[in-house]
Amino acid sequence: MKNVNFLEVLEQKRGVVWKEIEKYLDHDFGPIIDKFSNGYKESGDFHKKMVREYPERKGKYLRPSLVMLTCEAMGIEPKKTVKTAAAMQISEDWILIHDDFEDDSLERRGKPTLHRMYGSELAVNAGDSLHILMWKVLYDNMKLLGQQITTKLFEEFYQMLSRATLGQTVEIKWTRENRVDLADEDFFFIVDGKTVYYTIAGPMRLGAIIAGANKKQLDALYEFGTHAGRCFQIKDDILDLTSDFKGLKKQQGNDIYEGKRTLMLLHLLRFVKGGDLKILEGILAKSRDEKTQDEVDWVIEAMKKHRSIEYGQDVATDLASKAFKVFDNNLGFLKEEPARSQIRAGIDFILTRDH
């Protein structure tokens, strides 16, 4: 196969999946809204505007693309996967709304976060509406895929999202407690739910379930996702320290503002000593609004001094190498082209992306 431009693959899949999502977003939310008199139409339109805000901003569409590519690599036509892929993307949008509120983030995809636009209560409610819509899209698979496969997809979504929320709980709890005694494995415990399963392994397993994968094949996909997902998260955290995401992000060091325990921060905590350690612990103890840009810059410079960012990149490179090995040796059942080569190109994209 010729060289694959993975961004072009994502763009193509995004176009297909967005059309499916838009069908659901264009539909009124629940049958009762159809009975609204003109006096309530303004309220209904306001609700729909909020709910559409994050989906319309779109994103890379990595997760729904992996759903489709995995299924296609197992010989199943793309139209069989479109609703599952749409549900996967909708799940990202409602989770991001809630995450941004929980982290009090400033921006999402180059614009203000929803809770900063409309307030926390309305933003959370908009996220709830998308959550409900996600289950509706999944349920509509019944006519497309039948009851048995649809039931398996529901179970996989349940397992995937449950593990993601556990990771979120632990991350928030450890941040609140200002934990400074964590090891790399503690970081991976969070990542294995929020990124390994939710971002890589889960979407691929969903596609494989549609294609009739057996347990051995699903387990192999999780093994692959462990390496690729951990790599993805570390790279994402490095970009937060070093990139403006092609102009979409105005504030570098957002994870430091939020106090997140990234691999680079844990490395720094192990190597910084004396007065600098006290300064670092003091900065981490502050809330987002209490931290200054100078303090965040100090942490980033300390990471550079102690080679924490370099350490993170080395770990990510090693994980990418392991992902390639698993892909080549254990995922031979993903054999149909061009999907197989496109998935493999995704590993390189995860490691080398700049936004």
Residue pointed to by tokens 């993975």:
6
For the stretch 81-122, pLDDT in tens is 999 999 999 999 999 999 999 988 889 998 999 999 999 999
Report the pLDDT value the prediction gives residue 353, as an integer from 0 to 100: 79
Cα–Cα distance measured from residue 230 to residue 232, given in angstroms and rounded to the nearest whole number: 5
Domains of the chain: 6-352 (1.10.600.10)
Q: Give the Cβ contact number of residue 285 at 10 Å.
A: 12
Q: Is the pLDDT score of 45 beyond 80?
A: yes
Kindly tell me if the per-residue pLDDT of 168 is higher than 70.
Answer: yes
The answer, yes or no, to whether residue 165 has pLDDT greater than 60, is yes
Quote the CA–CA distance of 91 and 87 in Å, as a whole number.
6
Q: What pLDDT is attached to residue 246?
A: 53
> Mapping DSSP to helix (H, G, I), strand (E, B) and coil, where does residue 258 land?
helix
- Closest by CA to 103, choosing from 233, 239, 230, 254, is 254
Nearest CA to 321 out of 199, 221, 196, 227 is that of 227
What is residue 351's predicted lDDT score, i.e. its pLDDT?
A: 80
**What is the pLDDT at residue 43?**
83
CB–CB of 109/248 below 8 Å? yes
pLDDT digits (tens, 9 = 90+) for 288-327: 889 999 999 999 999 999 999 999 999 999 999 999 999 9
Compute how many other C-beta atoms are within 10 angstroms of the C-beta atom of residue 215.
7
How crowded is residue 324: how many other Cβ atoms within 10 Å of its Cβ? 17
Other C-beta atoms within 10 Å of 95: how many? 21
